[in-house]
Every structure is written in structure tokens, then in C-alpha cells.
Amino acid sequence: MAASLVMPSPASSSSTAAMASCRSSLFARGHRSLLGGSEYGSRIYAPDCVKCEMAEPISGNGKPIIPVVNERTLPKFLESARLAKSVNRSSSRLKLFSGTANPALSQEIAWYMGLELGKINIKRFADGEVYVQLGESVRGCDVFLLQPTCPPVNENLMELQIIIDACRRASARNITAVIPYFGYARADRKTQGRESIAAKLVANLVTMAGADRVLACDIHSGQSIGYFDIPVDHVYCEHVILDYLASKAICSDDLVVVSPDVGGVARARAFAKKLSDAPLAIIDKRRHGHNIAEVMNLIGDVKGKVAVMVDDMIDTAGTISKGAALLHEEGAREVYACCTHAVFSPPAIERLSSGLFQEVIVTNTIPVAEKNYFPQLTILSVANLLGETIWRVHDDSSVSSIFQ
């Protein structure tokens, strides 16, 4: 399969027949749809439903093309009774500006919201210093700055702070830093003496630059939210992945959710609960150094099962690839890797494309370079989710109700 950037098309009739033979689909057993309102009641996802009504994936020479999204192409999990409530979507006081870290995602968000990205001039001097000038007035406006702090982390972080400073000096009423990927989030505590807690430092830097609010996706650990002295809206992208998995012809009885380490058990347990209370397995590992992991043993039964490994990010893929090898040794039929942030530091691509995984499912919070595409890779867009969240923040509406 070629790398895909969109949700799947309806399943074939053969897939439908195969799924019909199962007594329960991934979201059966009386569970509500992911974010469905009361009018939906208990909703069973059929295998032939389209989880995100976007255009078919277009591929030329193996190169996926991102589809245009708009207000009518909501993922199913955003189609709820709550969306019928009035949300002001025509404010001239809302401004979107994009940094240089992930312009494709920023453009998708703007398309969904029906807005144009604000004019901004960002360039670098010969010595590497960053220059920022806003190309339009933001006086009295509600400004949202779209900039993940992905590699190169320090470059993108500094750029974000300078953009925030430019908006503050241009008299913006409110400045929200939309950070789909929050770099330095793993440095959230001291594990040895004389270590820094860089996550707290970065939170202070963003705050002191002039941000009034932060909107972030799947921060590595919950305590990092408390490092900010300003409001933080935490967006959970797992629902996008869950919606995609629900379209697959996998019986819930064959499914097991796997945490690649003990620290991710809470995340995997929440993920499994939304997949019809699927059983949980845990991989116990011993880390001998940064970016170096050694799998020790498996807690749980995966024999003959379809294992779905869940993590917030994939960096060098050492943890998740060694975990997948162990799952195959223990008799797993197929292994899927799911994560929000595709950091993909070398040698991640070699490990992920080695044949251990049936599919590697990530989101576009971090741009994936074309050279890093491989056949098992599927990239899901979180633009609709972030766009809806931005509207709600701007309109002072509830954000948490999206995920209830």
C-alpha cells in the first residue's frame, strides 16, 4: 500500500461480508459513537461507512496529495448534536498566522475554517537570526499562531516566540499559541541529579513572550500542562486514529491494545476502552540510555490477536519496533503502530519499514518529509479537529465537550 494522507474509502463488498460474520465490530457492544450526541444513542460502526468524508486519495508516482477540507467534510466523530449549537463562525476579529514549521497543516486548518491565513513575512538573516513582520493589522484581534516545535526544535521554538512578540507589540487582544507538537515535553522531570526540566523552561518562555493561551495536541505527560501559568487547551488526537481503525475489518474479539512501555499504560487503557473495552497488554522494557531501549517481557496475551500499539510519538522507533518483534514472537497475527506525533529521527524509517508492522498510523501534527514515506505509512489529518477547537476557543464555547 502506498503512503496515504486521507481517510479510507468505503470497504469492498468482500470486506463487508467478512465483517458481517463477526458478532461485534470495533465499536459494538453498545458503546456510543466517539463524540456523538444523545440523538445517536448506541451506534455500531459498519465496515462500509466512511469515517471521514473526504475525497479519494490521489496518488501520482506514489506521491500522496492532501485533499482540500472544508466545513462540510467533518470526521464522523465531530458530527454531533453539540455542533448544532450556535458557534460564531464569521468573526472578522479572528486571525490565523502560520509559522514555517508546518505550513501544510496550517493551510488545511484555514480551509476548514473558511478563513485565509494572515499575511506574515518570516525570513532568516545570514547569521541565522529570525526576522518577523506581520503584513496586516491585528489590533484588537483574537490571534491564533500555528507552529509546532518539531525538528529543528530550537529554530521553530525561537520563531514561535518572535511571532508572539510581534503580535503582542502590534496590540493583538488575545494571542493563542497553537502548538500541535510540543517539543521538550519529554524533559518533564528529574530522573537523575543535576538535570534540567526543560518542559517547564519552554512553558515559561512561551508565556513570557506574550502568549495568553496555549492549544496543544497530546502532550507527552499530563503534568506538563501544569507548567504553564496560562490556560492550556489539550486536544486529544486519538479520536482521529480511532475513527480510522473503526473502518477496518477487524473483529473486536481479535483485538488487543498494547502499551509499548509501563509509562504509557494510562494512554493505552483509555484507547482500549474506546475500542469496545479491548484487552490490554503491556511491554516491560529497560532503558539503558536516551533513545536506547531493550524489551524485557510481555504482560498479557497476544497469541492469534491483532495487536494495536499505541504511543504519543515515534522518535527513533527503537521502543515500538522491539516491542513489535516481541509481539510477533508471542504469536500476534498482525501488529499496527499508532501514534500522534511522527518525529521519525534516524533510523526510524528503516525500523518501521522492516516488515514488522501491518500499518503505521500517524497524524500530521509534524510534517513528514516525502523521502520518509514508506508503503506501510498512513498519515491522518487533524486539521478539522484543530479548526473546530479554534472556533470554540474564539467563541468561548466548551472544548472538552468535543471529546465527551
Q: Residue 285 carries which DSSP code?
A: E
Question: Which residues, in sequence order, are bridge partners of residue 96?
Answer: 117, 144
Instruction: Give the Cα separation of 259 and 268 in Å (integer).
Output: 5
pLDDT at residue 285, rounded to an integer: 78
Whole-angstrom CA distances from 217 to 157, 168, 178, 213, 313 are 16, 24, 9, 14, 11
Q: How is residue 16 written as a grid cell?
A: 463487508
Q: How is residue 195 written as a grid cell?
A: 538535570
Domain with CATH 3.40.50.2020 in the chain: 94-235, 238-380
Rounded to two decimals, the pTM is: 0.80
| More confident of the two residues 285 and 59 | 285
Q: Which residue has the cell 503505521?
A: 360
In tens, the pLDDT along 310-364 reads 999 999 999 899 999 999 999 999 999 999 999 999 999 999 999 999 999 999 9
In tens, the pLDDT along 5-49 reads 543 333 344 444 444 444 344 544 333 333 333 332 222 232 332
Architecture of domain 94-235: 3-Layer(aba) Sandwich (3.40)
Candidate CATH numbers 3.40.50.620, 3.40.50.2020, 3.40.50.410, 3.40.50.2000; the one for domain 238-380: 3.40.50.2020
**What 3-state DSSP class applies to 335?**
strand
Residues 77 and 34 sit within 8 Å (Cβ to Cβ): yes
Give me the torsion for CA of 361, 110, 93, 393, rounded to 10°: -20
Per the document, the length of the chain is: 404
Strands annotated E in 45-100:
58-60, 63-65, 94-98
